[in-house]
Amino acid sequence: MIRDFLDKNFKTIINEIEDSYQVTFQGVGGQEGYVVFKKAKTGWNNKPISQNTYLVGDADMYQIVDMLKLYMSLDETHISEVKREFQKISIEKLENYLNEDKKTI
């Protein structure tokens, strides 16, 4: 439901900024949101991490969440579902982008 709405109304843009990647959701009406992935550092946890591990470092989805509330009648009880969906979509888009990048090398 949320994914379909986002796919229909938002374009996804991925930018590399220093050692981070920003996944931007750009709406047709100018609404915008983003999720920033930062490269994981070994000291962030006790487990060994792979060379290309990224963690969510920052996110701003307020404009998109407001749009979802307006057009899909979502309220505060749906916020966890919305966050999970944004995270899943962002991770998928970043993985696809990184995999495409490897193919061109």
Q: Say if residue 105's pLDDT is above 50.
A: no
- Average pLDDT over every residue of 74-102: 84
Give the closest residue to 13 by CA, choosing from 1, 22, 4, 2.
22
Return the DSSP state at 29.
T
**Within the chain, how many helices (H) and strands (E) appear?**
3, 4
Return the DSSP state at 76.
G
Give the pLDDT score at 43: 60
Domain assignments of the chain as residue spans, ordered by start? 2-99
Average pLDDT, the chain: 80
% of the chain surpassing 90 pLDDT: 9
Q: Say if residue 54's pLDDT is above 60.
A: yes
CA 8 to chain centre: 16
- pTM, 2 dp: 0.76
CA distance 24 to 41: 23
Strand ranges across the sheet with 54-60: 10-17, 20-27, 32-39, 54-60
Please write the tens of the pLDDT for every residue from 10-46. Answer: 899 999 988 889 999 998 777 788 888 887 766 655 5
